[in-house]
Amino acid sequence: MIATALTDLWHGFGVALEPHNLWWCFVGVLVGNMVGVLPGMGPLATISILLPLTFGMKPVGAILMLAGVMYGAQYGGAICSILLNLPCHPPHAVTCLDGFPMTKQGRGGVALGLTVFASFVGASWGITEMIFLSPLLVKAALQFGPAEVCSLMLLGLLAGSTLARGSPLKGVAMTVLGLFLGSVGTDLETGSERYTFGMTELDDGIELIALALGLFDIAEFMSSVNQIAPINTKYTNVRLSDMRPSKADFKKAFFPMWRGTIVGSLCSLIPGTGPTIASFVAYATEKKISKHPEKFGTGLIEGVVCPEASTHSSVQGDFIPTMSLGIPGDAVMALLLGALMIQGIVPGPQLISQHPDIFWGLVASFWIGNILLVLLNVPLIGVWVKMLAIPYRFLYPSALFFVCIGVYAANNDFFQVGEVVVIGAFGYVLLRLGFHPAPILLGFVLGPRFEENFRRAMLIARGDMTVFVTRPISAVFVALCVILIGTQIYVRMRGSKSVVPDVTDHGGPSPPISPELQPQRIPVTPAE
C-alpha cells in the first residue's frame, strides 16, 4: 500500500520535472504569488483569467499551473497581511492580528521568514496526507453506484454552501441557482433544448469561463473600484537579512506551527471548510492553550505561524476530495475541476487510475512548487514588497482586457463576451443583496453530473426514491446531510454567531478605505 504510493509518487516526480511541466508549475506559482501580494486580485479571479489560456496546453501542464496559482497566492497573501495589515485574502485575515504589530515593532521580516517556513511545513503535511488518503478514498469510492454518488454530491453541495461564510440559507440558494445554470443548454439524454430562449449560442450551455469571469472578476471590480485606498508603505522596507529568525523565535514558533498544521489538516477533511475557517480555528486554539492568551494581538510569533501553517495544510488537503472523488469543496476547486473537464478528463474516483500522470504529477508538483515558492519568497522579498504599490486604477482595466480576450479566445465568439457582462452585472446585484456567488460555481460544475447520476439512480431503482436511504453507504451520506442541516437550524435558533467572523472584506480583493468608515463588506468567496 505505502510502497505503491511511493512508486507512484516517484513516477509523479518524473512527470512534474519534465521541463515544460516544471515551467508551467513555475509560471503558476509566480503568478499566484504575485496576485497574492496585489491588493485587489484574488486567486479565484486570476484562475478564471488564466483558464482560457490553458486550452492549448496539455492537461498536466494546465492543472499544474492553475493549482500553482492557488497555493502560490497563499504565500503572497501573507506578505500583504503582515506588512500592510490588509486582509486581502480571507485566509490571512487573522495573520494581521499579530503579524502587523510585529511589523510595527520592526520584526516584520522575522514574521515573514517564519511564515514561509511554517507554510512549507503545513503544505508538506497536507501533501503527505493527500498521497496516502486519496488512494484509500478511491478504493471506497469505486464501490459507489449512482445513488451513492448522488447523495455524496448532495452532501458536498450542502457542506460547500452552508459551512462557508455568510448566511447558510443564501448559500443554499446560490447552489440551487448554480445547479440550474448547469442545466441550461441541450439536455444530454433527450437532446431537447432548455432555457436557451432560441439562442443557438446557448445550446452548449453557459460557458464556465464566462460564468467564473463574470462572477469573480467583473462583479469584483465593480465592488472594488474607487474603494481601494493608497497603500501605506511606511513599514514595507524589508530586506533579506531581516528575515532570519533568532533561535528563540524559532523555538517559540515550532510547536504552534505543528499545531496549526494538524488543525488545518483536520479542517480539510470536512468538506466545505476551506483554509479560511482552518486559519480562524487554528488561531483560536492557539490562543486558548497559550499560557499568556492576553498577549495575543500584540505581535506574538505564535499568532502568525499557527494560522499560516494551518492555511497551507488545509489548502493542500482540499485537493483530496476534489481529485479522488471529483467533489470539489469550494469554488477554487470547482474551477480546477472545470479546467480538467474542459480538457476532456472526467473527474471522479477513476481519475487516479486512468490519469496517473495528472494526479501524481500534481502531487509531486505541489512539493516542487512549494520549494520554488520558498526560493521565490526569501531572496526576492524586496520585489514582492515593491509590487504592493501597484495602484488599482492600472490593475483593473488591464484585468478587464484579459477577461474580454480570454472569453473570446475560448470559442472565438463575441457572444460570450456579452454573456460575461450580463453575468457580471447580475453577480454584483447578488453581492449587494448579501449572496456569495462562490457556491454558484460549485453547483454549476457539479450540476450536469448530479442530474445524470440522479436520473440513472432513478432508472435503476425503477423510480423508487427510497433507494437513497435503503442503500447503506448512501444512507450515511443522507444522514450526514440531515445532521448538517439540523445543526445549522439549531445554531440559528440559538442565535449564536457562525464559526467564522466576518472580519474581512469580500473575496480576495480590496482593502477597505478605512475600517471605521467602511460598513460591513460582503464576503464573496468562502474559502479561497
Q: Which residues bind another protein (CB under 8 A)?
A: 53, 56, 167, 169-170, 172-173, 176-177, 179-180, 183, 187, 189-190, 192, 194-195, 218, 221-223, 225-227, 392-394, 396-398, 400-405, 408-409, 412, 414, 417-418, 420-421, 424-425, 428-429, 432-435, 451, 454-455, 458-459, 462-465, 517-520
- 336, 262, 316: which is closest to 131 by C-alpha? 316
Q: For 194, list phi and psi in degrees, rounded to 5.
A: -125, 130
Least distance in angstroms from the C-beta of 501 to another protein? 12
Which is closer to another protein, CB of 195 or CB of 490? Answer: 195
Least distance in angstroms from the C-beta of 404 to another protein? 4
Least distance in angstroms from the C-beta of 165 to another protein? 14
Which is closer to another protein, CB of 329 or CB of 443? Answer: 443
The residues pairing with 186 across neighbouring beta strands, listed in sequence order, are: 193
Least distance in angstroms from the C-beta of 172 to another protein? 6
Which is closer to another protein, CB of 382 or CB of 515? Answer: 515
Half-sphere exposure of 288 (CA within 13 A, CB side): 8
CB count within 10 Å of CB 265 equals 24
Which is closer to another protein, CB of 188 or CB of 375? Answer: 188
Which is closer to another protein, CB of 75 or CB of 450? Answer: 450
Give residues with Cβ within 8 angstroms of 349, minimum separation 6: 137, 138, 141, 142, 144, 324, 325, 326
Which is closer to another protein, CB of 251 or CB of 393? Answer: 393
Least distance in angstroms from the C-beta of 210 to another protein? 10
Round to whole Å and give the CA distance between 94 and 256: 15
Which is closer to another protein, CB of 120 or CB of 396? Answer: 396
Least distance in angstroms from the C-beta of 468 to another protein? 12
Give residues with Cβ within 8 angstroms of 481, minimum separation 6: 151, 154, 155, 158
Which is closer to another protein, CB of 313 or CB of 474? Answer: 474
First and final C-alpha spacing in the chain: 32
Query: What are the distances in angstroms from CA 274 to CA 159, 279, 390, 401?
Result: 11, 9, 29, 30
- 82, 243 in Cβ contact below 8 A? no
The residues pairing with 185 across neighbouring beta strands, listed in sequence order, are: 194
Least distance in angstroms from the C-beta of 499 to another protein? 18
Least distance in angstroms from the C-beta of 422 to another protein? 9
Q: Is 245 helix (H, G, I), strand (E, B) or coil?
A: coil
- 245, 268, 279, 234: which is closest to 95 by C-alpha? 279
